[in-house]
Amino acid sequence: MAANSIDQSPFFQGKRSRAEIVVKDPPKFDLESYVSNYDGRTRIHRLHHIGSCSPFLALEAYRTAITEAKKGKNIKLYLSLVEDFAKISPSDPLAVTDSAWVDKKKRDVKEEQDKLEHELKAYKNNLIKESIRMGHEDLGHFFYATGNFADAQKAYMRMREHCTSSKHIADMGLRVTLATIAQQSWLQVHSGLVKIDASQLKGEDKAKLEPIVSAVTGLAHMALGSFRDAATSFIHTSPAYLNVEPAAGIAWQREALSGNDVAVYGGLCALASMDRVELQQMVLSNTDFRNFLELEPHIRRAITLFCNSKYSACLEVLESYRNDYLLDVYLSSRVSEIYNNIRTKSIVQYFIPFSCVTLDEMADKFQPTGDYASIETELEDMINAGVLDARIDLVDRLLICPSTDPRFEVHSNALEMAESYDQTLRLRLSRINMLSAGFAVPAEKGSKMDAFMGGGMGDGGVLRNLGSKLGLS
Amino acid sequence: MSGEVISLLLSFQPDSPEFKSKREYDIQARRFAHDIANLSPQHFARGADTSQDILEICNPAVNTIAYIFPLQYRIAAAGGTFQSPKHVSDQLKPGGALWNKAVNFLENADPIQLRYVGAEWRKLCTYIEQVARFTGTPALAISPIRSGMLRLDPTSGTFTSVHLQFIRICVETRSYAAANPILDNYIHSLPGSIPQVVRESLEFSVPASDKLTNSGEFIHAKSGHSDKISLPDLQEYYLLGSHAYIGQRQWAKAMRLLEHILVTPVVTGVGNGLMLEAYKKWVLVTCLVHGTAKPLPRTTNTSAFKGIKAASKAYDALADAFADLSNLPKLRAQINAGRDTWAEDGNLGLVNQLAENQYRFYVARLSRTFSAIPVSKIAAALDGTVQNLTTYLEGLIANGDLNASLEQTNRPELGVVLRFYPDPTKGPLAKTEKQQLQALLAQTERTNLLAEQVKSADYRLSLTKEYIEHIKRVNKKATQGGGGGDAMDMQFEEPLEEDLMQ
């Protein structure tokens, strides 16, 4: 009953009317243990996302999130959480804004900001580079904690000219990256990571950073929709990521994306962008990535099924986890795209060995997802998009592989090409002839032409003004 | 006296063994033409309508030069000065004795001798046209002029003012198909200037030489076959030619002809009105050929086309709507919205063709997706009735636009079914390997011919003053020894520097 009232609450009603994601069914994971994998901003962020997407987990997620938020300095976040929650469960004690806390926090934050800025000014007067750098860093941390990510990024960027070692530069880069991830400006994330990767760190320091850079690069690629690049980055992430020491004071596997996330994101992106041979060689036989896949055995199973051409089973496995992925903060907006890619690829791969398949068989193997009215329409779209090379026979309800005649094709292409070259050459010769005869449209517009402007047209066959031009010569 | 004239007229026999070389023939032919031109016209009038008539004694196929002068004199006499239709005598009217003689001459004259009487030949064509016009039947002039053109130059590829006269009559009288034998031939040469020494004293390049492979070598600025022509004349020919093709719904040919206007060299500025006109038609016709707009031919002047494109945005938008097969009503809406524009440009008929032809591309797209589809399903997508659509599809199949067939199934829920043939070697439009091979061979032949035409154009370019001066300069530099190298380098560097300056 309670769940139903939440589902029907104004908040979710509003989301549905805006056609935003609302996950109806309960997910497979346990919220508490899931969230316990994360720390810092991403923890509340994830809770917020889950709460706002799943009516089933909304109460629990918002309650935890609001409690957590109150521990921090991010007033904006707290206020927006409470606002949402009030729409979901107005009677809950946590749904009422704690204005005393808000006022106090506002004052505290103002004070702290003044203090930090003052300190920074003092450092600047002293002209000690290291102090100035740390002053900026403190200010950056402060802005980050208050949820002012743009200013945090700016503060971190100002550290650049006061950095004295390449380690400082790399740390600064990582900080900037975290701030840009929080803003979800993925292009900046990507360019920042490229800079870190190109930094002059050597030996152990570099080795420590590598897994982080490659995992976060994968995330940026995935968020930008380039799944192939994302997959490559993820599957080449070293298993050291799982227990890498905090870099720049950030425990990446807790504050950005966990090892499980790497496995899921990497596995899905690979499924969406690679063919069977590549999946076998680059994903399943990849000893580095195996460590990640062990964390998420169903992803491994899905990939194995795909490699063994059991596409419907593979899709079934993935489908059962769709809800979980919709609740993942980074994956949710890409899930349907990734799933569609995998589905399309499965259909293409499935059809390769056949010359002819009945549509009913196809519909049976690939249960319609609801995006299309029927398997025919889906196949039709795939063929029109050039993904699937086949023809549909709506009479006998068959999917047919078009027979090709390479010899005929070569001949036809040769003819076509010859004709187009022929015409190109003719046009060139025409132009040369005109040039050599001194025919060129002069710089000034000839008024003579106007007589023809009213010209005729073929089908009507009306040709005005021409008769009058014919006189005795 | 009359006998003397006749013996003079018959004195030039092209097959005479006296002509040991083409050069001699050339000298004789020119002298002969000159002599006859200087004869007093009264001589030609003698014995008319008797057995002693010069036009009866001379054979147009043998005594071509001798024949054309009296013929012309007679026509002029019979038609007076073409002041009014009344002056045209019955003899000259189509079907009259003199008309028939003129037609017979154009059809059967000796092509080699015709090369020496260009001006007279052109005048004859003009007379024919004028007579036909004065008698109110301009279409009757088409066939004789066409025969005359092909007799003089079987390739009809050197542009003359007669080409323009010809196409004007064809389009005016809507005799589009009659223009095809000329229009189908590529204009590979424009009459240019050929140095006198080449024209008159070289064995292999005198007009009479049978070594001349290209009509551009005997139809030139001085030969008289063409009046002085200008760029608008040439463009008008192409434009009217495209009208003729459009009238026959031969879109691809129309498109190719229009492209010749698009490549017109432009010094600066935006080109001329004919180019604008041609571009608009070209956009529409390209759609009818390919189903979508295509980039301009590579040889066009891009800066000039900025202006032209800006002035024909409505057409580009129309092409976009045409290519958008998933939104068929868009094209209808565009056509209605711009109705005044199309009508004003005289393109309304062509625009309506777009509406008609869009279904053709829609069905063609279906053929890339389906191998068989019930007609009722297509009809539902197009908001049409099965009956109409079936008729339309039958038309497409009959025209050879679609490699498919219509089948009646025994299942009532499917009704008539359209079955495509994805394999190009099957179905009603199937081509056998042999047909393909023939097409390839024909193309090879065309290409070889084109290569000859290019060679000839190259040769004629090498005869121009500009080229000879260029060669002189190059040679001069080469003979200056060491300094020559530097001078050459300068030539390459200068344009580079200019580029940098810009």
pLDDT in tens, B354-391: 888 888 888 888 888 888 888 888 888 777 788 888 88
Q: pLDDT tens across A42-78, in order?
A: 888 888 888 888 777 777 888 888 888 878 878 888 8
For residue A382, what are its two tokens?
């795939």
CATH for A366: 1.10.10.10
Report CB contact under 8 Å: A456, B171: yes
Is A31 part of any domain? yes
Helix (H) or strand (E) holding A148: none
Q: pLDDT tens across B52-69, in order?
A: 677 777 888 888 888 888
Partner residues linked to B373 by β-bridges: B418
Report CB contact under 8 Å: A466, B168: yes
Closest C-alpha among B263, B264, B261, B302 to residue B281: B261
Q: pLDDT tens across B101-153, in order?
A: 888 888 888 888 888 888 888 888 888 888 888 888 888 889 999 999 998 88
Report CB contact under 8 Å: B369, A383: yes
Interface test with B, best of A433, A448, A453, A466 (most B CBs within 10 A): A433
Say if CB B231 and CB A436 are below 8 A apart: no
Is B203 part of any domain? yes
Is A432 part of any domain? yes
A 10 A CB-CB count for B327 gives 9
Residue with more model confidence, A5 or A338 = A338
For chain A, give me the number of helices (H) and strands (E)? 25, 3
Closest Cβ–Cβ partner in A423, A424, A433 for B457? A433
Is any Cβ of chain A less than 8 angstroms from the Cβ of B462? no
**Final residue in a domain of this structure, among B207, B229, B251:** B229
Residues 381-420 of B with CB under 8 A from A: 409, 414, 417, 419-420
Tell me the shortest Cα–Cα distance from B100 to chain A, in angstroms. Answer: 22
Report the chain B residue with the minimal C-alpha distance to residue A441: B266
Say if CB A51 and CB A57 are below 8 A apart: yes
Interface test with B, best of A412, A448, A457 (most B CBs within 10 A): A457
Q: Is the pLDDT at B242 greater than 90, yes or no? A: yes
Does the global pTM surpass 0.95?
no
| Whole-angstrom distance, CA of residue B347 vs CA of residue B278 | 11
Is any Cβ of chain A less than 8 angstroms from the Cβ of B377? yes
Give me the mean pLDDT over the A422-438 stretch: 87
Report the chain B residue with the minimal C-alpha distance to residue A444: B269
Residues 6+ positions from B2 with CB-CB distance below 8 Å: B43, B46, B47, B52
Ranges A228-242, B57-71, B437-451, most confident: B437-451
Q: Which residues of B touch A392 (CB under 8 A)?
A: 369-371, 373
Domain enclosing residue A62, as ranges: 1-97
pLDDT tier for residue B48 given thresholds of 50, 70 and 90: low
Is B289 part of any domain? no
Q: How far is CA B115 from CA A146, A450, B143, B222, in A?
A: 96, 36, 21, 11
| Whole-angstrom distance, CA of residue A191 vs CA of residue B205 | 71
pLDDT of residue A52: 80
Any idea what DSSP says for residue A403? P
Ranges A100-104, A412-416, B19-23, B69-73, most confident: A412-416
Q: Is the pLDDT at B313 greater than 80, yes or no? A: yes
Domain enclosing residue B470, as ranges: 433-478
For residue B466, what are its two tokens?
């500009």
Q: pLDDT tens across B396-441, in order?
A: 888 877 888 888 877 777 778 888 877 767 766 677 778 888 888 9
- Residues A368, A457: one domain? no
Closest C-alpha among B354, B392, B360 to residue B375: B392
* Interface predicted TM-score (ipTM) of this complex, two decimals: 0.83
Partner residues linked to A391 by β-bridges: A400
Q: Is the pLDDT at B339 greater than 90, yes or no? A: no
pLDDT of residue A3: 55
Is B135 part of any domain? yes
Residues 403-462 of A with CB under 8 A from B: 403-405, 407-409, 411-412, 414-415, 418-419, 421-437, 439-446, 448-450, 452-462
Q: Which residues of B touch A404 (CB under 8 A)?
A: 423
Is any Cβ of chain A less than 8 angstroms from the Cβ of B291? no
- Residues A455, A417: one domain? yes
| Whole-angstrom distance, CA of residue B337 vs CA of residue B401 | 29
Ranges A327-336, B159-168, B374-383, most confident: B159-168
pLDDT of residue A443: 66
Tell me the shortest Cα–Cα distance from A349 to chain B, in angstroms. Answer: 18
Residues 6+ positions from A361 with CB-CB distance below 8 Å: none
Helix (H) or strand (E) holding B404: strand B404-408
Give me the mean pLDDT over the A145-163 stretch: 82
For residue B445, what are its two tokens?
């032949």
pLDDT of residue B1: 45
Closest C-alpha among A266, A275, A335 to residue A311: A275
Is B345 part of any domain? no
| Whole-angstrom distance, CA of residue A113 vs CA of residue A109 | 6
Is B35 part of any domain? yes
- At B149, the amino acid letter reads M
Q: How far is CA A282 from CA A232, A236, A260, A291, A426, in A?
A: 9, 9, 19, 14, 52
- Residues A92, A2: one domain? yes
Report CB contact under 8 Å: B370, A393: yes
Residues 6+ positions from A161 with CB-CB distance below 8 Å: none
User: How many contacts (CB atoms, under 8 Å) link A and B?
Assistant: 230
**Final residue in a domain of this structure, among B229, B247, B271:** B229
Judged on CB neighbours under 10 Å (0-12, 13-18, 19+), A343 is buried
Report CB contact under 8 Å: A453, B273: yes
Q: Would you give the end-to-end CA distance of chain A in angstroms?
A: 100
pLDDT of residue B487: 41
Tell me the shortest Cα–Cα distance from A316 to chain B, in angstroms. Answer: 28
Is A261 part of any domain? no
Q: pLDDT tens across A187-211, in order?
A: 888 888 888 777 766 767 777 778 8
Report the chain A residue with the minimal C-alpha distance to residue B170: A461
Is B286 part of any domain? no
Is A461 part of any domain? yes
**Final residue in a domain of this structure, among B229, B261, B292:** B229
Residues 6+ positions from A365 with CB-CB distance below 8 Å: A311, A312, A350
Q: pLDDT tens across A30-42, in order?
A: 777 887 778 777 8
- Residues A24, A43: one domain? yes
Is B359 part of any domain? no
Report the chain A residue with the minimal C-alpha distance to residue B128: A472
Report CB contact under 8 Å: A449, B271: no
Residues 45-104 of B with CB under 8 A from A: 82
Closest C-alpha among B337, B303, B296, B334 to residue B317: B334
Residue with more model confidence, A452 or A304 = A304
Is B87 part of any domain? yes
Say if CB B361 and CB B372 are below 8 A apart: no
Say if CB B261 and CB B288 are below 8 A apart: no
Closest C-alpha among B224, B246, B121 to residue B177: B246
- Residues A10, A85: one domain? yes
Report the chain B residue with the minimal C-alpha distance to residue A451: B273
Say if CB A239 and CB A262 are below 8 A apart: no
- Residues A11, A53: one domain? yes
Helix orientation angle between A375-384 and B348-369, rounded to the nearest 10 degrees: 120
A 10 A CB-CB count for A373 gives 9
Residues 6+ positions from B212 with CB-CB distance below 8 Å: B205, B218
Is A147 part of any domain? no
Give me the mean pLDDT over the A73-94 stretch: 79
Any idea what DSSP says for residue A279? I
Residues 380-399 of A with CB under 8 A from B: 380, 383-384, 391-396, 398
| Whole-angstrom distance, CA of residue B362 vs CA of residue B364 | 5
pLDDT tier for residue B49 given thresholds of 50, 70 and 90: low
Number of structural domains, chain A?
3
pLDDT tier for residue B168 given thresholds of 50, 70 and 90: very high
Helix (H, G, I), strand (E, B) or coil at B189: strand
- Residues A390, A434: one domain? no
Tell me the shortest Cα–Cα distance from B77 to chain A, in angstroms. Answer: 16
**Final residue in a domain of this structure, among A400, A420, A435:** A400
